[in-house]
Amino acid sequence: MTWEREQTQTAAVSETAAVFVGRVRLRSQDQRSLDAKASIAGHENEGENTMTNWMELEQKYYFHIINRMPLVIVRGQDSRVWDEDGKQYLDFVAGWAVLTLGHCSPIVVEALKEQAEKLILCSNQFYNIPQLELVQMLVENSCLDKAFLSNSGAEANEGAIKLARKYGKVHLNGAYEVITTLKSFHGRTLAMVAATGKPAYQESFKPLPAGFINVEYNNIEALKTATTDRTCAIMLEPVQGEGGVNVPDLDYLKQVRAWCDERGILLIFDEVQTGVGRLGTLWGYQQFGVEPDIMTVAKGLGSGVPIGAFLGKEKTAVFTPGDHGSTYGGNALMSAVGKAVLSHVLEKDIPGHVAKIGAYMTSKLEELNAKDPRIIEVRGRGLLQAIEFDREMSDAVVRNCLSKGLLLNAVKPTAIRFMPPLTIGEAEVDEAIAILSRALDETTVEAPEAQTGP
């Protein structure tokens, strides 16, 4: 039983949710497996292997943009998912740090059901209440003053860059360049590929949009050297997620803040992955005692539904009507879910829970580190953590864990990322560590040859 389910039932969020949670708690794992098998019965094709068919279907019709793991997920609940054969998996990927409250949380389900019966979408030519309630909650629980809702993290980052460029045009003599860092990740749109400091992502799409400078992360001198009269902003992740869960030195972000203040430029924090409690505080910037001028959020705000936002301090409010907009951004349905998720995170002190469980997970990973010399580092904050190997073995370990019922992410060839739902408890951590330990014991990858000379 997860900590979150106990909290949800005790609080009796709603009569429907309480009944749902009680029903789920009474189910045995065997019954869950039977339910999963029944749920896909209608998709079976005259006894053929359904998984193989779905994989063939993907190969035939879907652009090949990712090398998927050999798993077709058909159902999820809390920190668990089930495949088409009813096998259960503990999910420490959580949609790439999206599922704040776990799979199919009653909070999300009830918000969707209730709002879908009232209003799903209206044009932003008109007011809708869930949108305004959500932006009010975001602003009142952050250091920012204004907000705009989008559909994703990439869109939120695009909006933040537009806002910074408009600020540069109005206040900085037309400055338009944004400095970002190597090993960062800001999205898949063309501009955000240019912002993302990963040359391998950029090469196929050159020439890239101008105006982005990528420098070394956690290096204040590199930022200072790259800053010119054309610079309007610096954009960073408080902790780099996709880059390998890279935590900066404690004074780095303070130095960046001071430099931005000295030069009169904006500081943008991309909190798409670190926000909404993921690091053990509501926002990642709170870990480092630094306030941004602009912040972007997404992923965990919807706990499974597509939503994003960018927020800014009053001085950044330079947009005028027509400068920005969105057909679906801030629609009533997604806004109602975002409000429900954020309300729950605040009311139940999910960040406080994450801080405790994150510390527990760190201690268990450190125990693995002590007994396996191939692990050379444990790093991260809260429930965004990683282990680094001395060799390229992460894919082999992740696949071994998959076969044993644990989902993890090989964030790079030498590192595994952990980003479970924020509602897990110590029991789920213990289960994950036990599976990972067995997988490590069974994974043999040769160490790289030592360099003997130039």
> Nearest Cα to 148, choosing from 297, 346, 348?
297
Residue 272 within any structural domain of the chain: yes
Same domain, 142 and 239: yes
Query: For residue 446, what pLDDT is reported?
Result: 82
Tell me if 356 is assigned to some domain: yes
pTM, to two decimals: 0.88
Residue 307's CB is within 10 A of a number of other CB atoms, namely 30
pLDDT beyond 60 at 29 = no
Q: What is the pLDDT of residue 448?
A: 76
pLDDT digits over 99-143, tens only? 999 999 999 999 999 999 999 999 999 999 999 999 999 999 999
Say if residue 12's pLDDT is above 70: no
Mark whether 233 and 139 lie in a shared domain.
yes
- Asked, for residue 376, whether it belongs to a domain, the answer is yes
What is the structure's pLDDT at 22? 41
- Is the same domain home to 66 and 164? no
Asked if the structure places residue 420 within a domain, the reply is yes
Residue whose entry in the numeric block shows the structure tokens 């993302």: 196
Query: Pick the residue with more confidence: 28 or 81?
Result: 81
Q: What average pLDDT is seen over the chain?
A: 91
Tokens of 254: 């303070």
Q: Quick check: is 68 in a domain?
A: yes
Q: Is the pLDDT of residue 384 over 50?
A: yes
Same domain, residue pair 122 and 250? yes
Task: Give the model's pLDDT for residue 175.
Answer: 98
Is residue 148 among the annotated active site residues? no
Same-domain status, 354 and 340: no
Q: Provide CB contacts within 8 A for 387, sequence distance 6+.
A: 365, 368, 369, 375, 377, 378, 415, 416
Omega before 207 within 30 of 0, i.e. cis: yes
Which pLDDT does position 52 carry in this prediction? 66
Write the pLDDT tens digit of every residue in 179-203. Answer: 999 999 999 999 999 999 999 999 9
Per-residue model confidence (pLDDT) at position 36: 45
Query: Which pLDDT score, from 0 to 100, does residue 2 have?
Result: 55
Contact, 183 vs 217, CB < 8 A?
Answer: yes
Q: Is 185 a catalytic residue?
A: yes
Sheet holding 146-150, edge to edge: 146-150, 308-312, 294-297, 266-270, 231-236, 177-181, 212-215
Within-domain flag for 123: yes
Same domain, 87 and 230: no
Q: Do 420 and 79 contact (CB within 8 A), yes or no?
A: yes
Name the domain boundary from 304, 320, 347. Answer: 347
Residue 95 shares a structural domain with residue 159 = no
Tokens of 194: 């240019």
Are 239 and 271 a contacting pair, CB within 8 Å?
Answer: no
- 299 annotated active-site: yes
Checking if the pLDDT of 9 tops 90, the result is no
Query: Which of these is catalytic: 37, 166, 183, 299?
Result: 299
pLDDT for the residue numbered 445: 84
Q: Is residue 299, in this structure, part of any structural domain at all?
A: yes
Is the pLDDT assigned to residue 13 strictly greater than 70?
no
Asked whether residue 259 falls in the same domain as residue 178, the answer is: yes
Q: Say if residue 335 is in the same domain as residue 293.
A: yes
Q: Are residues 33 and 143 in the same domain?
A: no
Higher pLDDT, 36 or 61: 61
CATH number of the structural domain spanning residue 8: 3.90.1150.10
Mean predicted confidence (pLDDT) in 356-379: 98
Q: Pick the more confident residue, 169 or 1.
A: 169
Q: How many domains does the chain have?
A: 2
Q: Catalytic residue among 148, 185, 269, 418, which?
A: 185
Parent domain of 418: 3-105+350-442
Is 449 a member of any domain?
Answer: no
pLDDT of residue 39: 47
Phi and psi for 360 in degrees, rounded to 5? -65, -45
- The predicted structure's pLDDT at residue 450: 58
Name the residue among 169, 212, 174 with its Cα closest to residue 191: 212
Given 347, 368, 402, the domain boundary residue is: 347
Mark whether 290 and 189 lie in a shared domain: yes
- Domain holding 183: CATH number? 3.40.640.10
Instruction: Tell me the percentage of the chain whose pLDDT exceeds 70.
Output: 87
Residue at a domain's end among 292, 314, 347: 347
Structure tokens, 260: 């931005």
pLDDT > 90: percent of the chain: 86
| Region label for 277, one of left (φ > 0), alpha (ψ between -120 and 50) or beta (otherwise) | left
Write down the pLDDT at residue 425.
98
Q: Of 37, 270, 288, 310, which residue is the catalytic one?
A: 270
Provide the pLDDT for residue 3. Answer: 57
Check whether residue 254 and residue 198 sit in a common domain.
Answer: yes
Q: Does residue 40 register a pLDDT over 70?
A: no
Per-residue exposure over 359-375, b if at least 16 CB sit within 10 Å of its own CB, e if not: ebbbebbeeebeeeebb
